[in-house]
Copies of this chain bind each other. A is one copy, B any other.
């Protein structure tokens, strides 16, 4: 599904378990959908850190001996999203460093909105940076000397950064979880065999038989050490809540539970809402597997139109090295999903999916159905149209490439060659969650950005800031040097 937006990351942490690295590995495995570019694990073993990072999928990176060398009973892990550009092992997380407070490692999900400014300030103080990711700023802030004596770096750090961040931080003796005051990204607390675990999503707890305890609250810092878990509120209360509603719609796994709502159920409910808002006469409801499964089921249940899985997944795609073929029309679509033609022949078909980002894939699918003899094809999308880019950690295309931002509903329908096209409304989407609208960031739908952002903010910022070449030798004046030498 390469045309879909990709999430920045998944994070995981565990404290006080003899198999910390292995459980972190399983946790990352369950969070693989949040990033397939790179992954890493750092463990802390009596003040010594062990780390292993690599490009690719979790299961490809941690082969053979790699895990067994990650000794220690505390660990954090990270999966990172796949894109080109700044895709480099150097940018893989967790990031680690050695400073006056000993070793520190961080894993970050989200996007800082004032990264460039803070980095400029730190560089002016003489700091060097090794990567182009905003997360390195957090790492360096943690190392700064505290000027007063009444507080500590952790609080200083989170007050200096803005935007979206769910963090797992590992020190020589603590696991720390942090969630930004708006709660853009999820972060949950669990427990297994008496050890605390942190994870971006609860599906990671299920795999390791961990018990879900509660979500980290927006603006909360949880410090886990041998004395247990302490909670610190680092911000004044009554901050604007801004949980990313797209996690419910698309990103999170259906088996995760966020803010007490099971994602699968929310999605089925979105399908029901869709059926209520847009009833259409048809013979079949077909999901685009697996992304449209829940909503299609909801649509079928609400409308009474039979549900048929007419698209068959090829289970062996995914991590292939298969090149899109010049030879075969609609190859990208067909290689993943084959249509069972005689199920749809002569039928009026409703196809349900959770998003249309660029449209070429959807167009191929409609084409596929029509060639197989479908009499009508109605396309249903279980969320509203995406109109705006995300600046809080999701890699949507630029606005110029967002279909709905540049074309009317009718234009899109014609492009897709569909008989009708329907999106779920913003209200319908919120209603399906059962939570108040004020809880959410819906900027990608409504343009209402909860935290202001530097217009330059984006993942390539660090790389682009190139002016005239700098040097070291230039300011040296020979006469002054001579004076010194005498």
B469 to A46, Cβ gap below 8 A?
Answer: yes
Q: How far, in whole Å, are A208 and B19 apart by their CA atoms in the complex?
A: 45
Tell me which of B99, B171, B325 contacts A128 (CB under 8 A).
B99
**In the bound complex, do residue B47 and residue A468 qualify as a contact, i.e. CB atoms below 8 Å apart?**
yes
Q: 0/1 per residue, A250-287, Cβ < 8 Å to B?
A: 00011101000010110000000000000000000000
Tell me whether A471 and B150 are in contact (CB under 8 A): no
From B48, B155, B322, B471, contact of A174 by CB (8 A) = B471
- When the two chains form the complex, which single residue of B22, B48, B206, B293 contacts A338, counting CB atoms closer than 8 Å? B206
The stretch among A101-109, A183-191, A381-389 that forms the contact with chain B is A101-109
Determine if B174 and A145 form an interchain contact, defined as CB atoms under 8 angstroms apart: no
**Is B343 touching A208 in the complex (CB atoms < 8 A)?**
no
Partner of A171, one of B155, B172, B294, B470: B470
Partner of A209, one of B130, B171, B306, B328: B328
A339 contacts which of B47, B143, B230, B255 (Cβ < 8 Å)?
B255
Kindly list chain B residues whose C-beta atoms are within 8 Å of the C-beta of A325.
22, 26
Of the listed residues A101, A124, A339, the one surrounded by the most CB atoms of chain B closer than 10 A to its CB is A101
Q: Is A115 located at the chain interface by the 8 A CB criterion? A: no
A290 within 8 A of B: yes
User: Does A29 have its Cβ within 8 Å of any Cβ on chain B?
Assistant: yes
CA separation between A276 and B462, bound complex, in Å?
65
**A125 beta carbon closer than 8 Å to chain B:** yes
Stretch at the interface among A54-62, A418-426, A434-442: A54-62
Report the nearest B residue to A262, measured CB to CB: B342
Binds B, one of A240-248, A309-317, A391-399, A446-454: A309-317
Find the B residue at minimum CB distance from A237.
B485
B residues near A342, Cβ cutoff 8 Å = 257, 262, 265
Is A87 located at the chain interface by the 8 A CB criterion? no
Q: Which of A132-160 contact B (CB under 8 A)?
A: 139-140, 142-146, 150-155
Asked if A216 is at the interface of the complex by the 8 Å CB criterion, the answer is no
Residues of B within 8 A of A129 (CB): 97-99
Q: Restricting to A8-26, which residues have a CB under 8 Å from any CB of B? A: 19, 22-23, 26
Contact B472 A104 (CB under 8 A): yes
**A127 close to B99 (CB less than 8 A):** yes
A424 to B10, CA, bound (A): 43
- Show 27 A/B contacts (Cβ-Cβ < 8 Å), sorted by A: A33-B315, A44-B469, A59-B317, A96-B130, A99-B123, A100-B126, A125-B125, A125-B145, A126-B127, A127-B127, A128-B140, A128-B143, A150-B480, A151-B476, A153-B472, A155-B484, A173-B471, A174-B471, A174-B473, A206-B334, A207-B328, A209-B329, A255-B339, A257-B342, A264-B340, A290-B313, A297-B308
9 closest A-B pairs by beta carbon, nearest first, are A102-B470, A59-B320, A97-B128, A172-B469, A223-B473, A173-B469, A126-B144, A32-B316, A100-B123
